[in-house]
Every structure is written in structure tokens, then in C-alpha cells.
Structure 1
Amino acid sequence: MLQDIESYLACPHCGRELALGGGTLRCPDGHSFDLAKQGYVSLLAGDAHTGTGDTADMVAARSDFLAAGHYRPIAEALAAAAAAVRPDGLVADLGAGTGYYLAHVLDALPARPGAALDISKFALRRAARAHPRIGAVVCDAWRPLPLRDASAGLMLNVFAPRNGSEIRRVLRPGGTLLLVSPTPRHLRELVGALGLLSVDEDKQRRIEEKLGPHLTPGVRQEVEFRMRLSAADVRTVVAMGPSAWHTNPARLDAALAGLADPVEVTASVTVAAYS
């Protein structure tokens, strides 16, 4: 709930502290932000932002796919890595989506509050209900985050945009970023067959180049496993990710008809720590 993360929030206009009262967050300079009835709050500075959030259809697809447990090994690996860190302060998930991964991490970290940060209000409607200790906040990953300096002991970033300078500002001294990114083997059986977006072979190098000025890489592990997906599952995994913006429905239907049902698909990610 937002009460759990109130003391960590900062006004997106002036950077001062925010206090919750009567369903509104207010700062001493008079800026105010009303809580949505679904439990999240928008702390975007005005209507302008730099990205496009996931649509309601994309979020629904992701929620269905995750609820089916297909990516549960990723969530479990992330939760285990978080438990090993044993962070103080806030757990902030940048690009939290529906809150699925943050909820798993909070289960492994009793009493720690969690901030689900995302630009999609459709995702945050679900994140606000994903765990009793999650507070859901609409914000832009590429602008100053509405969190106080050195407020988070742990930050998560799972298949999401990453702003190295803001992550560094928000992390406490000694804090950790746990970053989950796909390897080039991720969903490889579907990429060519369905014409999906592929993962750059140099993705890990590019991540470290962008984060390098702000964070130091630490322990990294690969999590790879096989999924047995029905045709409906395959359609869902396409609909929930970035390929949803580029896929022609008719062509997808034709390509799906050429796949086995069910089909064996590789899930392959890296879970990397930075400090």
C-alpha cells in the first residue's frame, strides 16, 4: 500500500517530501497528487513523458502468462538473489509491470516495503493488488524518479528500461541493483518461426556500457529452462511483449498454424547484480 512507501517518495516537481492524507499526496510547496481508486498514484510531472506504457491488452496477456507459472523460475531466482542481499530500506522495482516479480521478492524479504514504478497505469492497477506491501506509482523511467536520494536498499529491473544515473541516486550506499535481461537464446524457437523481435547478441555488453559510469557489476547467473506452451500460451507471450507493437495478427495466425501444439520453448535470462 502507498502508506508503506510514503516516507520514501519525493515530489516530481520540487523534490520535497510527500505526505499522505485524505486520499492525496501533498508536499510542503503545495503540489498534490490524488490516489486513483484502483490504489496507485501518478507522480508524472505533467502529462509529458518519454515512453509508451503497456496497453490494457498487453498487461492482461502478461498477467495471464505469469499467473500460469511459465516464468516462475525467473521469479524464484530473483527472490533468492534478493534474500542473499538482505537489503535495508525500500525495495524499488523500476518497470514493475503487474508487480509479479516484486511480490515474489517481498515474500522473501519480510517487513520490507516495495515500490512498483511503471509508466503504465494499466499495469499498476494490478501491481497495487499484487502484494500487501506494494505501493504503486506511475512515473517515467527516463526522468527523475519520484523517490528520495539514497532511499532504496535494493532496486529491481526486469525486462525493463534502466536509467543508470537515477538508479545510482536512489540506491543507498552499499545498495544493490538486480537486473534481469534476456539472453539471445530467449524464446529462440518462436523468434524465427513467428518473426518476433530478437535479442541483440551484444545486449549484455551494451547494458554494462550504459550502467558502467554509475554502477559496478557483481555476481551474475544465467537462468535457463524449457517451457511447454500451448498455441494459446504462444499467442499470449507474443501479445505481452514488445513484439506486440510490430506483429500483424493475420500473419501471426498463419505462423501459429505451422507450430506444434504444444511447442517446447527456451526461456533464458541473466540475473545480474550491480552496486
Structure 2
Amino acid sequence: MFARTLPALTCPVCRERLEVDGGGRRLACPAGHSFDAARQGYFNFLTGKGTVFEADAADMVAARFDFLSAGHYRPLADAVAGLAAPFLAAPGAAVLDAGTGTGHYLRALLDRVPAAAAGLDISKFALRRAARLNPEAVSIVADVWQRLPLEDDAVDVVTVVFAPRNAAEFARVLRPGGRLVVVTPRPGHLAEVAGHTGMLGIEPAKEERLAAALSGHFRAAGEHELDLTLQLAPADVANLALMGPAGHHLDRAVLAARTAALPARTEVAARFRISVFAPLEPPGPAAAE
């Protein structure tokens, strides 16, 4: 089960501080609310009417797990870990992986630098995988568009790899001097197979919209581009299509037929942008007047 050194978690019902109870199988707050770990090791913090956000289905998660386990995106995971690690070197450092999915990117980071860690995702199918892959982290089913189950200034790094970004909440939970690390695709990403498989294209002006969405809470603190040349088997291409947003609407039979017609290996270019942001300092007394 996860380590007892965790980020400062809060109860999704009353926002009181959560503490580890029940031999690491339960999180409980002073108000009496408690959350037991599922058999696979994750905690479900969804409350009330839930979320309108569509969680990844089981076959989408399985596709992502198989693709990432094959190591195709390992250089990306290592690059994210390298950028985040310097901000997790101090004792008591903590990281939130928002949209953690199967937990592969958080695994690479924790292999680089041990830290208190939380992985958050809306998909229970993804968290089943993540909890097994990262047993020292706490894995939480929660909606990133709601208040995050963390105290203010609870973590030193927030990582977001191809996942939604709640700028206000990320800024709230980040400590002064912390960093937000965001991965987005660049134009031309997976172009060789995107049209053939029905994957969604890269939205125009994506970089500008990212900066605009974060501008009220963060300033740019670095940008890095990473290009990978992948040699993919038909099964890899199918997994690549299913593991992304297009997996919510792709016809599985059509995808299988299309990928079966591919050659034994297809060369595909993966193009990533890794953006680093620092939280804006709150205005001083004079500026606030």
C-alpha cells in the first residue's frame, strides 16, 4: 500500500484534512468521513452527482497500458521527470500527477526522485492500473474540474500529460516556487497514422490557448520540444488510436480492419511540447489596494 508520507489530502465532503487509517487501507477526516481503498488500491472521491466528463473506458485504458508499457513514449516520461525532479529534491516534497491515467509518467518521476505523490484521474479503470504500478503513491478517482482534494500549498510539482488543466486549482495547491509541467502535442504529431485510424487532429493555435488559459495564474518558465521516431506494429497503431480522445467514438471493428491492412512496421513521428509554468506571486498590499 502507499507510503504514509503523502501530500496534504482533504476530504471531498467537508475539506478537513485526511489522515491514513486502517493500516493504509482507509483515509479518514476528523468529521467522520472515511474512504476505503478499492481492492485494486485506489480511492474513489467522486461525490454528489459526479461529473459530466467522460471517463476512459476499460479497453481505452488497456490500450494505453499496453502502448506505454512497450516503452514507445519512455523518452517523454524521462523528459518530464527530468524537468520536475529538481523541484522535488527537498525533504517533504510532493507531486500531483493530474490525469495520471495508467501511472506510467508518475512511475518514471518516482524512479528518478522519491517524493510524496498523488495520482488523480476520472477513470477507475485507469486508477486500477496506476495503483498497482505506483503503490507508494495515493491513487484517487476525482474530477479535475472540481476542487482538488488537496490543501493549499500542498505540492511542489503538478504534472499534466495530455490531460485537462484546471489553472485555478493547480495554482491553489502549488507551493510558492513550485512548477506546473504540461505536455501537449505539436503540429504533425502522429500525422502518418492519424487520418488512417480516425484519430483527432491537432487543434490550431493550441499553444496560444494553453498560455491564455493559464495566464491568470501562471507565468511561462520554460519550453522544450521533443521529437520521437516510432516504428509501430499494427497492434501498436491500434492502441495509439484507442488510448486517446478518439477512443470514445471510434468503431472498434473498423479500426481493427484498417490497422490489419498496415505493413509490419509503420514509421510514425511523435511531436511533443513540454511547457513549464511557475505560479504567479500574489499581489502585495499596495497592489491589492
TM-score of the pair, normalised by structure 2: 0.90
1:31-110 alignment, distance < 5 Å? 31-86=33-88, 88=90, 89-110=93-114
Cα contact 1:228–1:263 (8 A) shared by 2: yes
Deviations 1:9-33 (A, max 9, x none): 1011211101222232221122221
Cα separation, partners in 2 of 1:181 and 1:174, compared to 1, 3 Å:
same
Deviation at 1:133, TM superposition (A): 2.3
The 1-side partners of 2:88 and 2:118 are apart by 17
Aligned to 2:166: 163
Aligned to 2:281: none
The 1-side partners of 2:40 and 2:127 are apart by 9
The 2-side partners of 1:229 and 1:222 are apart by 21
Cα contact 1:94–1:157 (8 A) shared by 2: yes
Deviation at 1:207, TM superposition (A): 0.8
Deviations 1:60-83 (A, max 9, x none): 111110111111110111111112
Deviation at 1:44, TM superposition (A): 1.7
RMSD: 1.6
Q: Which of 174, 181, 184 is residue 181 of structure 1 equivalent to? A: 184
The 1-side partners of 2:194 and 2:264 are apart by 16
Q: Which of 127, 132, 137 is residue 134 of structure 1 equivalent to? A: 137
1:197-208 alignment, distance < 5 Å? 197-208=200-211
One-letter amino acid of the structure 2 residue matched with residue 125 of structure 1: R
Aligned to 1:229: 232
Q: Does 1:210 align with 2:213?
A: yes
The 1-side partners of 2:181 and 2:196 are apart by 31
Q: Which has the larger displacement, 216-225 or 47-56?
A: 47-56
Cα separation, partners in 2 of 1:258 and 1:38, compared to 1, 3 Å:
closer
Unaligned 5+ residue runs, structure 2? 279-289
Deviations 1:151-187 (A, max 9, x none): 0001100000110000000000111011111112111
Cα contact 2:7–2:94 (8 A) shared by 1: no
Cα separation, partners in 2 of 1:92 and 1:235, compared to 1, 3 Å:
same
Q: Which has the larger displacement, 3-12 or 160-169?
A: 3-12
Deviation at 1:47, TM superposition (A): 4.5
Cα contact 2:7–2:118 (8 A) shared by 1: no
Cα separation, partners in 2 of 1:215 and 1:87, compared to 1, 3 Å:
farther
* Number of matched pairs: 274
Aligned-pair identity in percent equals 44
Q: Does 1:121 align with 2:100?
A: no
Deviations 1:162-217 (A, max 9, x none): 10000000000111011111112111111122232011121111111111111111
The 2-side partners of 1:64 and 1:271 are apart by 23
TM-score of the pair, normalised by structure 1: 0.94
